[in-house]
Amino acid sequence: MFTDVQIGDKTPFATYADFYAWAKERSAIGQIQGSAYQGNLPNLVVLGRYASDIHGRISSLGRLALTDNDRTQMPAVMTWDDYREYFDQNVAPRGLPDHIALVESVSGIEPAFCIPRPQTTCARCGGSWTLDNCHDIDGEGEFEHPDFSQYAGTTLRDVQDILDNQTDGEYRLDLCIQNDRWIDLTSRDERSYLDHAGIRTEDTEHAITQDHVVHDGDKGTVRHTRFYHGACYKQHMKAQHAAEIEAMRTAYAEFLEQRGGFENVTVTQGTVPQRIIDVMLDGDTVPPNELAMMKKQTPYWDITTKQGSFAMVECAGPLFDLTKTGLTVAEVCPSYAPHSINEWLLALDDEQNGEGENTILRLCNALQKKQLAAQP
């Protein structure tokens, strides 16, 4: 039976699992009570870490605004009004933006619960959460389309139960199954794209329900929310960014070799030069923080090849920066020269370069010619 915590309780929960069970049950009660106008649970702030509103919805308190000292000082169970008072007296004077910092946010994608279950582990370090660090949680959700063949013969309800036992995050099944055996190319109605792809949902003619019995070849739709400790999430984001940069580097190198005939290509990430920022600004001035952001967000690649060195920059499409080549736009692509902004920025897009010239091949040839001419 559900026992609500009382104002003034010193140690309302013995473990994180207790806290989770309380929060989850309170949320269930809040939902049964229905719409936003019917919630009648008292607003509570617990553990100096979470607020639970009249509908039992859980939100985390401003993680960066509050310190460990605040969390220990605050009563373990307080009303929202008491928390507000505490915030105004102790936190706001530290110069933090006022009420925005009261509550951080709810993480995880619906209907995943925004705090991890006790058995869920951090997707980066494999560690868990305790009452002491349960304010330090980041969530990230994505859709996955796994092959459900291994569950053939069981219902989607059973599959959800199996997935509920996973520890690497929370899984929520959508009522959407794709199977090639349902592909119907004869269908012409407005939803025919679903028929053509063999997709059935809860809204299609043959509706998918929780009682759907999984068939060999069924592909499901799952919302997978992973949870991270704050520091682990930062590492995860950094690793993800590095992987994206690596993928772009590889893609550029392949592109230059295959489309342009360049050899021994190496691509490294460089810093976008001020002269390119000046072109982008076109005479405008922007505040220093915006300028710093622009520099950070404009990808710039230094490229060395057997044929010569140059650079590429992404601004409204990829451009070659010819500065290092000693060649001008007119020397590489004469038909583009009348349209160019200056003598050293050349659009990669063949269409933009008039006459349908193959820009990249022209650059490779021009560099090769220059190299030959330089030889004694």
CA-based angle 246:252:253, to the nearest 5?
A: 90
Of 165, 159, 199, which is closest to residue 180 (Cα–Cα)? Answer: 199
Tell me the C-alpha distance between 20 and 139, whole Å: 16
Binding status of residue 125 toward Zn ion by CB under 5 A: yes
Binding status of residue 239 toward Zn ion by CB under 5 A: no
- For Zn ion, give the closer residue by CB, 127 or 326: 127
Q: Considering the complex, what minimum distance in angstroms separates the CB of residue 363 from Zn ion?
A: 47
Beginning with the edge strand found earlier in the chain, give each strand of the sheet holding 170-178 in spatial order: 137-144, 219-229, 170-178, 199-201
Q: Which long-range contacts (CB under 8 A, 24 or more apart) does 252-259 make?
A: 252/301, 252/303, 252/312, 255/360, 256/303, 256/305, 256/360, 259/358, 259/360, 259/361
Q: Considering the complex, what minimum distance in angstroms separates the CB of residue 128 from Zn ion?
A: 9
Q: Considering the complex, what minimum distance in angstroms separates the CB of residue 300 from Zn ion?
A: 33
- For Zn ion, give the closer residue by CB, 124 or 224: 124
Q: Considering the complex, what minimum distance in angstroms separates the CB of residue 1 from Zn ion?
A: 34
Binding status of residue 313 toward Zn ion by CB under 5 A: no
Binding status of residue 224 toward Zn ion by CB under 5 A: no
Of 33, 84, 2, which is closest to residue 41 (Cα–Cα)? Answer: 33
Residues 150-179 that bind Zn ion (CB under 5 A): none
Q: Considering the complex, what minimum distance in angstroms separates the CB of residue 232 from Zn ion?
A: 3
Contact 220, 146 (CB under 8 A): yes
- For Zn ion, give the closer residue by CB, 26 or 229: 229
Contact 47, 71 (CB under 8 A): yes
Binding status of residue 281 toward Zn ion by CB under 5 A: no
No. of helices (H) and no. of strands (E), the chain: 10, 13
Q: Considering the complex, what minimum distance in angstroms separates the CB of residue 236 from Zn ion?
A: 9
Binding status of residue 122 toward Zn ion by CB under 5 A: yes
Contact 225, 268 (CB under 8 A): no
Stretch that binds Zn ion, among 56-64, 216-224, 232-240, 243-251 (CB under 5 A): 232-240
Among 229, 313, 345, 364, binds Zn ion (CB under 5 A): 229
- For Zn ion, give the closer residue by CB, 97 or 230: 230
Name the residues that contact Zn ion, by CB under 5 A. Answer: 122, 124-125, 127, 229, 232
